[in-house]
């Protein structure tokens, strides 16, 4: 059991139960739900729905990170996410994550009430995000990416190379270890075989010593698996969530909360039974 330290005096226990991070894209072009929740009232209603279905965290994003997506300016991103974060924070019941790689956006989001910064560039595009996390106590998700860089041939070796550098940035800025969660970055400049290798060899990553967040939800990698069905991405998401939960992952960033909650409850029951038998 570990306690994830978050901004504004909040925290979240990790380990005993799989945690769900509900995806709330307030973008016009995200691959699964672009444009559906761009209005504040609709975004807030969807966040409430996800919380009632079992989401522990609401992850708010204002720029699509799908391959080939048109970049948003910092002003566009902020105009999309800040009113939603303020509305969520005003209710006082949500744990709020901001999905951004921009330090300025992250700072404004935490000031508006966000508790976690989820950086898909792993602090290596704008390292000031680490300084912000240290100053505010925000939880920090550090994701591996293969985009815009040369990679090692072995996918696990590349994870260690990239994330070790990210952790050096975090430590140099004064981020406490209890604030950090890692994300292997499924689908971010990784071939089908590399995504499968990440699943098969996931336990090797635990040597880094931090909790892990998993983001396979509805991604193309699910249809690249032999037999994968483009129409069954929620089933594929739940399957990978269960596999990686049994291998030690702690948090799952998903679109469909009830589907994954039900699947992960079975995984948690299996883990509890195994622990009881071993003890």
What is the spatial distance between Cα 44 and Cα 274, in angstroms, rounded to a whole number?
39
- Residue 201 reports pLDDT greater than 80: yes
- Residue 54 reports pLDDT greater than 80: yes
**Contacts for 269-272: CB closer than 8 Å, 24+ residues apart:** 270/246, 271/245, 271/246
pTM exceeds 0.75, yes or no: yes
- Residue 33 reports pLDDT greater than 50: no
Domain 2-278 has CATH 3.20.20.20: yes
Interval 74-132: pLDDT, tens: 999 999 999 999 999 999 999 999 999 999 999 999 999 999 999 999 999 999 999 99
144 CA to centre of own chain = 11
Q: What pLDDT score was predicted for residue 271?
A: 96
Give the phi and the psi of residue 101 in degrees, each rounded to 5. -110, 5
Q: Which residues are catalytic?
A: 219, 253
């Amino acid at each position: 059991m570990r306690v994830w330290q978050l901004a504004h005096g909040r925290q979240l226990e990790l380990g005993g139960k799989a945690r769900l991070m509900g995806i709330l894209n307030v973008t016009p072009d995200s691959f699964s739900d672009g444009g559906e929740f761009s209005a504040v009232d609709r975004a807030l209603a969807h966040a409430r729905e996800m919380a009632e279905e079992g989401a522990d965290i609401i992850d708010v994003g204002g720029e699509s990170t799908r391959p080939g997506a048109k970049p948003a300016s910092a002003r566009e991103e902020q105009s999309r996410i800040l009113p939603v974060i303020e509305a969520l924070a005003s209710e006082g019941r949500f744990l709020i994550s901001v999905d951004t790689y921009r330090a300025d956006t992250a700072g404004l989001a935490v000031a508006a009430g966000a508790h976690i910064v989820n950086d898909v560039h792993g602090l290596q595009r704008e390292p000031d995000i680490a300084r912000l996390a240290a100053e505010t106590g925000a939880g920090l998700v550090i994701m591996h990416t293969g985009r815009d860089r040369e990679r090692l041939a072995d996918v696990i070796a590349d994870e260690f190379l990239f994330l070790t550098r990210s952790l050096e940035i975090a430590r140099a800025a004064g981020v406490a270890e209890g604030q950090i969660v890692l994300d292997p970055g499924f689908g971010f400049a990784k071939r089908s075989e590399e995504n499968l290798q990440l699943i098969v060899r996931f336990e090797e990553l635990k040597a880094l010593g931090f909790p892990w967040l998993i983001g396979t939800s509805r991604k193309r990698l699910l249809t690249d698996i032999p037999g994968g069905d483009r129409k069954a991405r929620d089933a594929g998401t739940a399957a990978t969530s269960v596999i990686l939960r049994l291998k030690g992952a702690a948090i799952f960033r998903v679109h469909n909360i009830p589907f994954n909650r039900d699947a992960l409850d079975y995984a948690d029951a299996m883990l509890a039974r195994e622990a009881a038998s071993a003890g």
